[in-house]
Structure 1
Amino acid sequence: MTAHNSDIAQLADDYQQFRYRLMPTWAHMSGEYAVAGSYTDVSAAGEAAAVEEARAFVARAEALSEDELDEQGRLSRAMLLWDASSEVAVGELRSAEYGADPIFGAQASLGMYLPKLGIPTPEVAEAMVDKLRGIGTYFIDLADRHRDGIATGRTPAAFAVADTIQQLDEWLTSPVAEDRLLNIAATPDSVDRPALIARLQQVVEDVVRPAVATYRAVLHDDVMPMARDDDKVGLMHLPGGEEAYATLTRYYTTTDLTPEEIHQIGLEQVAELARQYAELGPAVVGTSDVPTILAALRDDPALHHTSGDDIVDASIAAMAKARGAMGDWFGRLPQSDCEVEPTTSGAIAYYFRPAMDGSRGGIFFMNVSDPEGWGRYEIESTSYHEGIPGHHLQIAIAQELEGLPDFRKTAFVTAYSEGWGLYTERLADEMGLYGSPLDRMGMLAADSMRACRLVVDTGMHAMGWSRQQAIDYLLANSEKSVGHATAEIDRYAVTPGQALSYMIGRLEILRIREAAQQRQGDRFDIKAFHDAVLDSGALPLSVLADHVARRLA
């Protein structure tokens, strides 16, 4: 290893420690227990310090010459520059000031995450007491951030405030002895678990619940009267909101596409999908009329599940089919497996990466709180996206790579990871995995949602669409029910730009694949392409394109 490669390796290690401190819950879940006693610092001072530390990492990376770096060294430098620069750009948006979030907020997600945080030693068990104290501090700081937002005219959307207050009320009125924060992972035999739970309950009573009550009061008394109504849910209605959305668009897509360009791409994708629905419709519902097809997928009880167990079983069966076909399409396969588990909270489906120490494989959750809301046609495409060959293959392979810094193995690049997940839904069709025309219709339905996202996300945040206008567009161009369409739109409203990453990422991965096929002609090998995309970890799409072009020249 040259001196320059040593420098980038040290820089990457330092940066990973920064990420662990910045995201201690994620670090703990990944098996990094040094920060087990910490929780996210959402204070204004903490955010400003993180931005300055990230800025220093940018300067360190820029000071390193590429001249003597090997391929992976150059990728590490490019990846770190992108990530640290993004941390600066996004951190400077101060989104906590207007960030009431009933979808992914702590009050909605803690009960799901906490049981997954491993407690392998008495030291980590002891650290859980401090973690709960940190959760209390988090809610106090979040209340302060909202007060700052009010002072600058940057407030959340009213629906998000109302939904968050309802969640906080449900938490505060639940029995303390059954508090969600007491549902911790298994503890070592040497730990007096009843005594630990008793201590944690005391922290819940003395620290966490009073902090949650403070946050709730600020939302109800101070924020709600100033919150944005449903006609102004988009970022463009905040001071500096258009610039903030442009920043988030670049971050989530890793491209320089403007919101207006992305909006047009979405309209074109929706039109193309209408053609594909018409082509497949007669085999599934006996008609080529697209509104009739969408209505059947939405409303026909025979096309929907009634049992959470059946949903999970169908997902397990789909992943078993995928496992059996992997060898023909991928050279590198992950060592860790992926399990399916039901849940009744969080997004409709989501994936947790394996623990870095190998103590837990990947887990992909299906939300079965509303079984009838799951179309039978949705299970296979969702399973391929979240599990195999989607997120699990991409994330588990990255974690198992040898010779790469941990930062690269665990990096988040939404356009890469979600683009890959959506790419694999169509790849599964190439692989012959879909069991029926109905399952293939599910692939189109999943595409519709991702294509519509380009239209409604940019519509709300860059073009002034109302919440209802966005819901109506999704209802007209997808099979989503009113309840599901509303939940989707609410998610996009509180996480601006994130929804753009799926389809933009998929289209870019396809473009990179087509360019490789044109370059290589008969030499092109799909397994080599997939390995080139996956075996260097997550990368911004522009960096990925250059990397694949060098690998598959």
Structure 2
Amino acid sequence: MSLADEMFQAMMDYSPLHAAMLGVPGWEDGLGDLSVDGQRTDRDRIAALLDRAETDDTEDAVTLAVIRQQGRAIVDRIDARLAEHTVATMSAPVNSLLMISSKLDVSQRLDKYPRYIEQAGERVRDSGRRPLSRHLQTGVQRMDAFLALPAQEWEGAHSGEIRTAVAGFRDVLASIEDGRDDDKAGLCWLPDGERNYANLVRNYTTTSRTPDELHRLGLDIIASLREEYAEIGSRLWGTKDVPEIFHRLRTEMLWDNEEQMIENALAAIARAEAEAPKWFGRMPVVGCQVRAVPEEEQRTSAIAFYQPAPADRSRPGTYWLNPLGATERSRTLSEVTAFHEAVPGHHYQFSIAAETDLPNLRKYAFIEAYLEGWGLYTERLADEMGLYSSDEQRLGMLGLDAMRAGRLVVDTGIHAFGWSRQQAVDYLRENTVMTEPEIDSEIDRYIETPGQALAYMVGRLEIQRIRAEAETKLGDRFDVRAFHDLVVGSGAVPLSTLDQIVTSWTASP
């Protein structure tokens, strides 16, 4: 077995549910081990593979770079002990488990659910790294909501055991009286927090940029976006006043009903698919479907997300839309989100990589600076492609740009500079068009998944820089279709590696 295959095996053994989400066969009955000893065993195994990667001469340079990044990311996340203070958001082990169970065939692993949920409770109960008090309360509410539902089909014959374990986890959260307050929300307030955050920043961005550099970058982008808001606002409404533009976006551009939101997404994806051959030489074989998040999952689900097609292509890739509260949400975000999550964003990226003959590690590597950077890159690419139907929808593009730039500011503010939760809320309220519920949800996500939110804008800026340099070097010989095929056809790679891949391509005769 090659070193790449060994690392892939170790990664999927560490997180069998990730294998299930990808549809990769071989991990249908696994769930992973959340215990301290179990994660130490996983860490030791992956660290040994990383040691071998330092002297390996059998893998090519790109594959070695992916091996190192993927292995190091898992080691650093285990070292940060995130399982001990992550209980409220989608990155929380129990929340994640319950949400994805209806979307996968989990029948062969249900007997492992009770112990996994118990392990999650033990990690929180036995640790001095307390979650925020508000997150403990949110976790209790979400477990109560699950327990109040009738048994769902996916629970099968193990429903009683699973619900007993969920009730036990709920009681652990409710019993903790010394959760952190909102003024100490970040990793910098926890033991080894500065070191852990620096490692997570490195892994999520795949760059050497420091929290201070990223913080200042976010501030600069926010300032420049105000000029774009003023330009489009002047065309659309005859005003360059950014606060007025923000107010109108928050209060006037709302959906009439849930069906309208779904129909708009379908129309945007259809336009993108029709235009894509002018911008991509290679199209994914598998299609992309749009589905509404089931009603029982809407209160804990993200607003929108993409689920790749399984390895056997037994179903299409799926763009999931959460219709909850549609009439209180801005319709300006519809098209930009569809382009990011579906076509030509994550659907092209995941599907085309999976259809190559690359080793599994390269096909399915989860390098967020590349993955989310590509998604964010396609939001601006869609404007080049002429996909936005109106200036109203272009304001949505700016709205998501501002959110991602704001993430650079508030993620580093919380975890590196000791910002309170309220400071982060206030910053997003002033500098984005996000609604109050969206701001609350996003800030809680940043608190519980340190560094992840940095990947989006860093990745996009690097892909744009790499493309600009290729255009300069090649001049009239630059082919945007070939460039996009190269980027998505290489699989997920660290940004520095992507730079090397494109540089070699531009140097070819």
Q: TM-score, normalised by structure 1?
A: 0.88
The 2-side partners of 1:479 and 1:285 are apart by 16
Equivalence for 1:284: 236
Question: How far off is 1:85 after superposition?
Answer: 2.0
Equivalent of 2:154, from 183, 187, 205? 183
Residue 365 of structure 1 aligns to a residue whose secondary structure is: strand
**1:443 — aligned with what?**
397
Residue 382 (str. 1) matches residue 369 (str. 2): no
Whether contact under 8 Å (2:69, 2:203) holds in the other structure is no
Task: Name the aligned partner's letter for residue 229 of structure 2.
Answer: Y
User: How is 1:33-182 mapped onto 2 (pairs within 5 angstroms)?
Assistant: 33-65=25-57, 73-118=60-105, 125=107, 127=108, 131-150=109-128, 154-174=129-149, 178-180=150-152, 182=153
Note if 1:252 corresponds to 2:207.
Answer: no
Q: 1:495 is matched with which residue?
A: 449
Is 2:73–2:200's contact at 8 Å kept on the other side of the alignment?
no
TM-score, structure 2 length as denominator?
0.95
Q: Deviations over 1:147-172 (max 9, x none)?
A: 3322xxx1111111110011112223
**C-alpha contact 2:43 2:75 (8 A) present in aligned 1:** yes
Q: Give unpaired runs (5+ residues) of structure 2.
A: none
Whole-angstrom CA distance in 1 between matches of 2:206 and 2:397: 25
Query: Aligned AA for 2:183?
Result: D
1:312 lines up with 2:262 in the alignment: yes
Deviations 1:360-399, CA, capped at 9 Å, x for gaps: 1110111111102331211110000000000101111110
1:88 aligned partner, one-letter code = V
| SS state at 2:52 partner | helix
Show the 5 A alignment for 1:417-496.
Answer: 417-496=371-450
Report the secondary structure of 1:37's partner residue.
coil
Q: Give, in angstroms, the shift of residue 106 of structure 1.
A: 4.4
2:314 corresponding residue in structure 1: 359
Distance in 1, Cα, partners of 2:9 & 2:417: 39
Alignment partners' CA distance in 1, 2:90 and 2:137: 12
1:244 Cα offset (Å): 1.1
State the shift of 1:107 in Å: 4.2
Partners of 1:29 and 1:118 within 8 A in 2: no
Offset at residue 98 of structure 1 (A): 1.6
Aligned residue for 2:382, secondary structure, equals helix
Give 1:47 deviation, angstroms. 0.5
Given that residues 369 and 495 in structure 2 are in contact (C-alpha distance below 8 angstroms), is that contact kept between their aligned partners in structure 1? yes
Q: Which residue does 1:333 correspond to in 2?
A: 283
Say whether the 8 Å CA contact 1:314–1:379 is kept in structure 2: yes
Q: Is the 8 A contact 2:91 2:448 kept in 1?
A: no
Report the more deviating stretch, 263-272 or 356-365: 356-365
Q: 1:111 Cα deviation (Å)?
A: 4.4
Classify 1:233/1:277 alpha carbon distance in 2 versus 1 (closer, same or farther; 3 Å): same
State whether residues 108 and 346 of structure 1, in contact with CA within 8 Å, keep that contact through their aligned partners in structure 2: no
1:368 equivalent in alignment to 2:340: no
Give yes or no for the alignment of 1:19 onto 2:11: yes
- The one-letter code sitting in structure 1 at the alignment partner of 2:50 is V
Which of the numbers 227, 236, 250 marks the counterpart of 1:298? 250
Shift in Å, 1:470: 0.7
Q: Distance in 2 between matches of 1:231 and 1:65?
A: 49
Matching of residue 551 in structure 1 with residue 505 in structure 2: yes
Q: 2:79·2:196 contact (CA, 8 Å) conserved in 1?
A: no
Between structure 1 and structure 2, the one with the greater Rg is 1
Specify which structure has the bigger relative contact order, considering alpha-carbon pairs within 8 angstroms and separated by 6 or more residues.
Answer: 2
Distance in structure 1 (CA, Å) of the matches to 2:45 and 2:96: 28
Asked whether the 8 Å contact 2:255–2:329 carries over to 1, the reply is yes
Q: 1:98-125 CA distances to partner (integer Å, 9 max, x unpaired)?
A: 2223334344344442232248xxxxx5
- Equivalent positions of 1:337-352 (< 5 A) are 337-343=287-293, 344=298, 345-352=300-307
Which residue among 404, 408, 415 is the counterpart of 2:369? 415
Contact 2:87 2:95 in 1 (8 A): no
Give the aligned length: 502
Kindly report which structure 2 residues correspond to 1:256-275, keeping only aligned pairs within 5 A, or say none: 256-275=208-227
What's the counterpart of residue 30 of structure 1? 22
Structure-2 separation of matches of 1:243 and 1:439: 41
The Cα of 1:219 is off from its aligned counterpart by: 1.4
**Deviation readout 1:322-367 (Å, 9 max, x if unpaired):** 0011111111111111111111241111100110011111101111
Moved more, 90-99 or 460-469: 90-99
What SS does the aligned partner of 2:126 have? Answer: helix
Structure 1, gaps ≥5 residues long: 1-8, 120-124, 185-196
Q: State the SS of the aligned residue for 1:500.
A: helix
Contact kept, 8 Å, 1:23 with 1:40, in 2: the verdict is yes
Alignment partner of 1:217: what SS?
helix
What CA distance in whole angstroms lies between the structure 1 residues aligned with 2:142 and 2:88?
10
- Whether the 8 Å CA contact 1:100–1:156 is kept in 2: the answer is yes
Q: Which amino acid aligns with 1:296?
A: R
Residue identity over aligned pairs, in percent, reads 42
CA distance in 2 between partners of 1:109 and 1:142 (Å) = 12
Helix, strand or coil at the partner of 2:290: strand
Residue identity opposite 1:139 in structure 2: I
Equivalent-residue separation in structure 1 for 2:99 and 2:32 (angstroms): 16
Q: Which residue of 2 aligns with 1:321?
A: 271
Point out the more displaced range, 377-386 or 510-519: 510-519
Distance 1:165 1:112 in 2: 15
Instruction: Measure, in 1, the Cα distance between the counterparts of 2:195 and 2:22.
Output: 34
- In structure 2, the residue matched to 1:4 is none
Aligned amino acid, residue 183 of structure 1: W
Q: Is the 8 A contact 2:470 2:478 kept in 1?
A: yes
Superposed CA deviations along residues 138-191 of structure 1, whole A, max 9, x for unmatched, are 1111122113322xxx111111111001111222333xxx324x337xxxxxxx
Maintained 8 Å contact 2:7/2:49: yes
